Amino acid sequence: MSILDRFRRGGSELVEAKERIEQLGVELAIRSDNMSLFGERLAELELGLEDEGWQMLSGTTDREFSRNGLRIINHLVRLYFLKNPLIRRAVLTQTQYVFGQGVNIRANHPLVDQVVQAFLDDRKNKAELTEHQAHMVKETELQCFANIFFVFFINRFKGHVRVRTIPMDEITMIICNPEDAKDPWYYKREWHTSRLNIVSGEWEDKANVAYYPDWRYKPSSSVDDADGATAIPSQIGGVDVMRDTPIYHVSVNRLSDMQFGVSEVYSALDWARAYKEFLENWASLVKAYARFAWRMTTKGGAAGVSSAKAKLTTTLGTGTETNPPPATGSTFLGTEGLKLDPIRTAGATTSAEDGHDLRLMVSSATGIFEHYLTGDPSTGNLATAKAMELPMLIMFRDRQQLWASIMTEILNFVIDQAVKAAGGPIPGKTEQNDYGEEVVILANDKDNEDEDLRGSPINRTLDISFPNILEKDIGARVDAVVSAATLDGKVPAGTITPKMITRLLLEALGLDDIDEILAEMYPADEEGVEKPPDVEEIFTTAIRKLNQALDEALKQ
C-alpha cells in the first residue's frame, strides 16, 4: 500500500504515514544525493499536502499548519523558487519593485541620527539587513517563508546593537502569555552545529536547544508565574534561556489566531507545477510530431514500395526509417503516381497557448500580472508600461510600508539600547507605564535652536522613505518641490526650511548618498552644531547644483 493510500484511509495508518514521512521522507530527501529519490519524496509530500489538507498537518488544532507541515511547504517553495520560472519571476518582480531603487533612512535629531547611521553602517548589520543586497534577500525570504526571526546582540555598556536572523525551521515553538495568545514570551530553538575537531580532523555534530525571549517581553509579577518572578530566568526546564539575545518575529500571510505565517506563494505552487507539466506534455507531442517529417504514397503495392525505396537509396519501408535520411536540400525524383508530401503539423490539437489559464492562476495567486511573469510584450501595451496597473502598485507600496514599519521598530529598539546602556550616547531614562511595561524616555533637548522645542524630550522621529515606484517626469517632481517652497514666487516663502527643500529635491532626482551631500552643503562647526545658513545663498546654491544634476539625469 502506497503512502498516499494510507493518507486517504485515515485513522492510525494516517498517523503512521505522517511519522514515516517526517522521519524518512524529509530527512532522507534533503540529505540524499539521489535526485530522483529526492523528487519522488517531495512529490509524495506535495500530494499529501494537497489531498489531506489542513486537518492532517495541523496536529492539535485545525487553525494552522503544524511545524512539520510548514517545513514541508518551505522545502517545496525553496525548490520552486530556484527552479520554476513563474514562481521565481513573481517573487523577484515584487522584490525588485519594493527595494530595487533603495530606501532612505535618517533621524530628525542629529544625536539620534548618529546612533541610527552607526547601526546602518555596521558591516555585519549591512550584511544581514541594512545594505541593498540584504534588503533584497530579506524581501525574497519574507515572500517565500512568510516568517523572519531577527535576533539582537546587545552591547550592554555602549548600547551598540547587531542583528542576525534565525532560520525559520529552527524555531519549533512559540510560548505565549497563557492569558493572551497574542503576547509572545519565548521562542524555542532546536538546531544542529558542525565543528571541526582540530585534533582528530573530523567533523562533530551537536544537537542544541535553547529558549530566546521576545524582544518586548519583560516579566512582571502581575502576569508571570505564581512565584512572582520579575526577571527572565536563566533556564526553563533545564534548557538555557538566551536572555541577552531577544527575538523580533515578523510574519505575513496569516490570520490573527495563527502563530506562524504561511508562504505567500504557497497558493501558486499547484498551478505553477500544472503549467510546467502542461508544457512538458506539449513539448512531448511536438517531439512526436517531428518523428516523421514526410509522407509518401505510391502505387504498385510491395513492388512500388521497393522501387521508391531504391530511388531514395534508404531502407524506408511501410513503417519506419532505419538509415539516416538524405542530406538536407536533396532532390526527390519520381514518376507519375508517386507522391511525396511533408507531414503537416499546423493546427495540432494542442497548442502552447492552451495553458494560458494556468498562467493566470499563478498570476492571481501572486498578484503579479501575466505579462510580468512571461516577459511577453504582446500581452501589454504602452499605457501598461508607462503607468503600472494600480493593484500591483498598491501591493508594492503596501509592502514598502510594511518594511518601513519593520525598520522603524528595529531602529527604535536600537535607540532604546543607546539610552539604557551605562555608556550610551543618548541621555535618557526608563519608566513604567500604567500597564507595568518599560518605556524609554529621552532626555530634554536643552540645546535645540528652536525655542519652542528647547526643554522638550529629544526628538526620536525617524524618516524612512522610498523613491517613487513609477518613473515619472523628473522635471515635474522638481517643479512641485520648488512650487511648494516658494508658493510660485521667485524667492523662498519660508514654508519649508532650505535644508528640507534640498533633501526633497535630491530625493526627487533619485540621487544616492543624500546625507553626505547635505553634510557638505550644511557644514557643522567644531562642536557639531550646524551653522545657521544664509537662506538666499543656500537656496541659490542648492538650486544650481540640483539643476546640474537634473541636466545629467536627463542626458542619460
Angle at 456 between CA 453 and CA 462, to 5 degrees: 80
Question: Which of 8-12, 123-127, 177-181, 372-376 comes out lowest in average pLDDT?
Answer: 8-12
pLDDT at 288: 75
Residue 53 has pLDDT above 50, yes or no: no
Dihedral Cα 337, 305, 310, 343, nearest 10 deg: 70
Give CA separation, 119 vs 116, 139, 345, 451, in Å: 5, 20, 64, 30
pLDDT at 555: 59
Confidence of residue 31 (pLDDT cuts 50, 70, 90): very low
Mean pLDDT, the chain, rounded, equals 77
- The answer to whether residues 276 and 241 touch, using CB atoms and an 8 Å cutoff, is no
Q: How many whole angstroms separate alpha carbon 108 and alpha carbon 460?
A: 7
Residue 3 has pLDDT above 50, yes or no: no
Residue 49 has pLDDT above 60, yes or no: no
Mean pLDDT of 225-247: 81
pLDDT at 221: 43
Mean pLDDT of 136-161: 96
* Half-sphere exposure in the Cβ direction for 435 (13 Å, CA): 7
C-alpha cell read off for 52: 489531506
Whether pTM > 0.75 for this model: the answer is: no
pLDDT at 498: 73
C-alpha cell read off for 186: 519565548
Give CA separation, 218 vs 136, 222, 224, 409, 437, in Å: 33, 11, 10, 17, 7
Residues 6+ apart with CB under 8 A from 175: 184, 185, 186, 187, 188, 211
CB atoms within 10 A of CB 379: 15
pLDDT at 225: 46
pLDDT at 539: 57
Q: In 105-129, which positions are buried (b, 16+ CB within 10 angstroms) versus exposed (e)? A: bbbebebbbebbeebbebeebeebb
Q: Which residue has the higher pLDDT, 323 or 154?
A: 154
Q: E-assigned strands of 161-202?
A: 161-166, 171-177, 180-196
CB atoms within 10 A of CB 490: 5
Question: Which of 295-299, 383-387, 417-421, 501-505 comes out lowest in average pLDDT?
Answer: 383-387
Percent of the chain with pLDDT over 70: 63
Per residue in 454-476, pLDDT (tens digit) is 667 888 999 999 988 876 656 66
Q: How many whole angstroms separate alpha carbon 493 and alpha carbon 277?
A: 65
Angle at 78 between CA 74 and CA 80, to 5 degrees: 115
CA neighbor of 168 nearest in space, from 272, 267, 91, 254: 254
Give me the residue label for grid cell 518575529.
249
Q: How many whole angstroms separate alpha carbon 145 and alpha carbon 138?
A: 10
Domain ranges of the chain: 3-83, 291-344, 472-555
**Phi, psi dihedrals of residue 123, rounded to the nearest 5°:** -60, -35
Residue 39 has pLDDT above 60, yes or no: no
pLDDT at 483: 73
Give CA separation, 40 vs 15, 26, 68, 186, 269, in Å: 21, 11, 18, 37, 17
Angle at 497 between CA 493 and CA 501, to 5 degrees: 90
- The answer to whether residues 68 and 22 touch, using CB atoms and an 8 Å cutoff, is yes
pLDDT at 73: 94
pLDDT at 45: 47
Residue 98 has pLDDT above 90, yes or no: yes
Residues 6+ apart with CB under 8 A from 255: 63, 64
The residues that bridge with 127 in the sheet, in sequence order, are none
Would you give the DSSP letter of residue 170? G
Q: How many whole angstroms separate alpha carbon 238 and alpha carbon 450?
A: 55
Confidence of residue 226 (pLDDT cuts 50, 70, 90): very low
Confidence of residue 389 (pLDDT cuts 50, 70, 90): confident
Confidence of residue 35 (pLDDT cuts 50, 70, 90): very low
